[in-house]
A and B are shown apart, each in its own frame.
Chain A
Amino acid sequence: MGSRLNKILKENKKLLSVFFTAGFPKLNDTEVIIKSLESSGVDFIEVGLPYSDPLADGPTIQHSSSVALENGINLDIIFNQLEALKNSVKIPLVLMGYINQIIKYGEEKFCQKCKDCGIETIIIPDLPMIEYESHYQQLFTNYGISNVFLITPQTSEERIRKIDKITNAFIYVVASSSITGAKGEISSKQIAYFERIQKMNLKSTLIAGFGISNKSTFNTVCKYVNGAIIGSAFINFLDKNGTGNSSNFVKNIVKN
């Protein structure tokens, strides 16, 4: 697929993606956050769709989601915010949300809205491969949307190969057996897992996430995969500093 994201994924560099929760810290912070992340050199951005019951998320993202929901965020507002940025933001945006939000919104309507906003990639952590294949693959394809699958230290080689085959954006390499959340270090056990994945010579671009929190963890995982997503650490940063200095957060990670 010739999407914007796919062009970036082919670039030969350490890719940095940052996750933030739409509607956090303030309802209308989406634009400032996206623009400052873009201008500070982030390669693509993950926009979290706040959910009441985010099963795969740790306390930081849970908290940001409930604040965002209290702020009154909803999918219609988010799509309006993103559509307004469509022409001015050049880097790709990836949506991350839970399947119930999409079912309730209307699967077809959701896809149409993604298309209207120029969204070509989505991550739905609680949509398993079998459900994707039987109920969503055709629909997403019709709207030019690529679904991102996760792999974890527990995922079997056979399953990883299968995921590699049906992936047309990137594979989300979950860095540890855990929910999201900033952690200090990358353990030797994690390194062994990254090495195992690296040796599999998969066709897909590999982006690591969950527990990548700073320059050192980012650089470590990038020795094995093509890039990484930082989420909770950025949410914590926003919580402390507000949106004004978002670019400082990124500069601290990418500066050499």
Chain B
Amino acid sequence: MNYFVDKNGYYGQFGGAFIPELLYPNVKELEDNYLKILESESFKKEFKELLDNYVGRPTPLYLAKRLSEKYGATIYLKREDLCHTGAHKINNTIGQILVAKKLGKKRIIAETGAGQHGVATATVCALMNLECVVFMGEVDIKRQAPNVARMKMLGAKVVPAKSGSKTLKDATNEAIRDWIGNPADTYYLIGSVVGPHPYPDMVARLQSIISKEMKEQLLEQTGNENPDMIIACVGGGSNAAGAFYHYLDNEDVKLIAVEAAGLGVYSGQSAATSQLGDVGVLHGSKTILMQDEYGQVTEPYSISAGLDYPGIGPLHAYLHESKRAVFMNATDQEALDSAYELTKTEGIIPALESAHALAVLPKMKFKKEQVIVINLSGRGDKDLETYITHLK
């Protein structure tokens, strides 16, 4: 099996670029140039320097002893929460801002859910002195207030998306509409492995640093670069794509993708796309999405703004269909419980998104010597208000 994008921009039946003609030149320009740029020596050098000295890479691979004891396995946490700005999102924004600069773009737009991608975009725009506009659902602006403040302090303009469910999906729609209106000077810096080809592939490549480091660190710490299992949460799927990337071809490594089940997969208040969705087109790519019988996109729900999305990236749709990855899910409550648990056992407050990945631990049986890596995609600072509210 080949799990990487083909020359037409597809993963099996998923992917492609279903975009209005208005966006064709922009997407084509990116498609024609992204590999050339990503593989150029100057890009590689700049990217590495910024990841090492600005983001703080490599991020540690930490053996969580007490958590391991509790679940009877050998559990490592890949500490993306220690990245500058608090999540894996910055790996992607550093890479894409360098691409945007090489393409000569002057204005950067982005969508954001939890605000992590918005903050990561505003950060690299400040760093590169570029204009930054972030679209964010009105609902998310309320529940992720600290990140809104950070974006503003970083000099970004935050535009509320007031259409539809007023969350990540609608913020993405607004960003795409803005791009249609500003085709020449604007670069759309997408925050996950979603959108038209080549975005899913480009973002996966930029995030693949996560599994590249994981291999080296596992080899050093355990003598074997391959774990038995990697667990990551999936909103659009960028942290999971990064954590899986260098293991996709190695079928001995089990891949677990965890979606947000909200109040329960079948409660009507859920974002477990792979369980509730079917094939269609969302935000320019053919994938699996939550929709009604007439193809109207369903409004998802999750306590976690970063997972509150009715689709998954086309790579993940393919990993699901081909059964290369196992898709599990966790409810709001299970994620909250796991967040409190990690805080008390390891002294790490995870992002609500990452807490969903932790939340499948109680649902599985392990052996002591089994090596499990959980991608701890982000830290919980932005979610403190939610945590405090639910702690009572």
Contacts and interface: CB of A to CB of B under 8 A. Distances in A.
Interface of A: 51-53, 55-56, 58-59, 62, 66, 69, 74-76, 98-105, 125-131, 149-152, 154-156, 159, 174, 177-179
A162 to B, nearest CB: 12
Given A53-B173, A103-B295, A126 B181 contact: no
A58 B291 contact: no
Contacts of B184: 154, 177
Contacts of B176: 55
Contact of B22 (A59, A103, A177): A177
Interface residues of B, number: 35
B180 A177 contact: yes
A118 B181 CA distance: 35
Contacts of A75: 294
A243 B18 CA distance: 34
Given A52-B297, A104-B280, A155 B164 contact: no
Interface of B: 16-22, 24-26, 163-164, 169, 173, 176-177, 180-184, 278-284, 289, 291, 293-297
A174 B282 contact: no
A103 B282 contact: no
10 contacts: A102-B295, A103-B295, A104-B278, A105-B294, A149-B21, A150-B21, A154-B25, A155-B21, A155-B24, A155-B25
A174 B293 CA distance: 31
Given A53-B282, A100-B291, A101-B296, 20 more contacts: A52-B296, A53-B297, A55-B177, A55-B180, A56-B180, A59-B163, A66-B164, A74-B294, A76-B294, A98-B281, A98-B295, A99-B18, A100-B281, A100-B282, A100-B289, A102-B295, A103-B279, A125-B21, A128-B17, A150-B22
B163 A62 contact: yes
Nearest to B9: A130
A179 B181 contact: yes
Contact of B177 (A58, A66, A100, A152): A58
Contacts of B180: 55-56, 177-179
Nearest to B298: A52
A66 B19 CA distance: 21
Contacts of B164: 52-53, 66
A150 B125 CA distance: 33
